[in-house]
Structure formats: C-alpha cells, structure tokens
Amino acid sequence: MEPFRTHRGQLALLDWSDVNTDLIIPARYLKRIERTGFGPLLFADKRYAPGAAPEPDAPEKAGPLAADFPLNSPTFRDATLLVVGRNFGCGSSREHAVWAVQQAGFRAVIAPGPGEGFADIFESNAYNNGLLPIELPDADWQTIAQATRENPGRAFATIDLETLTITVETQGESTPRAKIAFAIPEAQRTRLLKGLDAIAETLAHETEIARHEQTRPAWMTPTAPH
C-alpha cells in the first residue's frame, strides 16, 4: 500500500448526500474476479448516458458520458480529491466501492459531519485500502465546497497527514484560501503514513510471531489429520 504523507490535488465536488455503494459501483460489476479495472465503473449508472455504461467484462469499453453528471465536467478531469455530501458509502458493505473511487484517481474523500460523513464500513474499507476519508465540521466542509464551486478546475488542496491539516488554495493566487485542521484515529493515521494494510501490519511482528510459535506448548501445535 502506498504511504500517504502529503498530497496536493485538484478538488472535485459531488454535493450529493446518502450516496450508497450501489450507486458508487453497481451490483452487476461485483461478479468481476479481478481487483483492478474498477475506475471506469465508478458511478456507472450516472456517469454514462442511458445504455452506455460498460459491460462487466469490458470496463474499458464505454459509450458517451452523461452531460449532466457533475464529475464529467472537463474542469474535474484531473481531480484527485473528492468532496462529497453526508453519509457517503451507505448501503451494502462491498469493498469494490473503495476500489472504484481509488482506481478513478482519488487519494482522499472529504465529507461533512464528524461521525456522519461516511458509512462505517465504507470508512473502514477506505482506511484498509489507503484511501483517506476525512470528516469535517460543516463550516470547514463548506469552505472547501464553496472554493470548488467558485473556482472549478482551479481549486486545489494540500492534505498533510503529518500535521493533520488541509490547505485550500486557488490556482493563480498567492495566498491560501484557508487552512483547516482535521482528525482521524491515530492508529489509522500511523498505518497510512507507513503504507501498511492489515496484512503488512501483522507481518511487522513476524519475529515475535515466530518466537511465539517456537516456544508454544506442544498441545497448541497443530497435528496432521490421521
């Protein structure tokens, strides 16, 4: 998993609340056995014109985009920071929703309402896959959302996970628009800074695990079936 320390990226705004995981990645795509190729499938039923969404076995083959879907705006083409409404990722627990957001190029998702911005399982899946979910007080979220509304394609933010700050700026202006503090659980912050998923975090204790296995009582040692 790629470490997350600082990231500067263009902001894109999808100001929709209660976006469920079936909207993020429709259920018909869950039969794919690969863990890659989900980027083009993000918001497939809204992103593409009616009947133009890709087939599950050919995500790269899609028809025309829907003109009225906010993220299809050319100004958001290079965005890597997604600003969303409250309760993002509600519904089923599919991890594919995080894969789709991440593989579409986003490094972080920013939602309003501490404890209410993301559904719990989506948030947990995000941390486990290196996607940074940030929940902000409404006023701070509005600062970022408004900057994106007023300057689409020119609104940027730098997320510093070391200092837990977001610096919002408008391209071409010398003075930052705002500097906002945020909070995430320290255990998750440490894992993201080090680029550790759950398996890598366990393997960091490989020496201690091996020592325990060598000294455990005989009755704890598994035996082959007869």
Asked whether residue 16 is assigned to any structural domain, the reply reads yes
pLDDT per residue as tens digits for the range 144-181: 999 999 999 999 999 999 999 999 999 999 899 999 99
pTM given for the model: 0.89
State how many domains the chain has.
Answer: 1
* Predicted confidence (pLDDT) per residue in 57-88, tens digit: 898 899 999 999 999 999 999 999 999 999 99
- For residue 211, pLDDT over 90 is answered with no
Residue 211 lies in a domain: no
Six-digit token string for 75: 């100004």
Q: Which domain holds residue 41?
A: 6-196
Asked if residue 178 is part of any domain, the answer here is yes
Contacts 24+ apart (CB under 8 A), 133-140: 133/108, 133/109, 133/184, 134/108, 134/109, 134/110, 134/159, 134/166, 134/182, 134/184, 135/111, 135/182, 136/110, 136/111, 136/112, 136/180, 136/182, 137/112, 137/113, 138/112, 138/113, 140/178, 140/180, 140/182
Cβ(157)–Cβ(83) below 8 Å: no
In a domain, 208, yes or no: no
- State the CATH number of the domain containing residue 30: 3.20.19.10
Is residue 54, in this structure, part of any structural domain at all?
Answer: yes
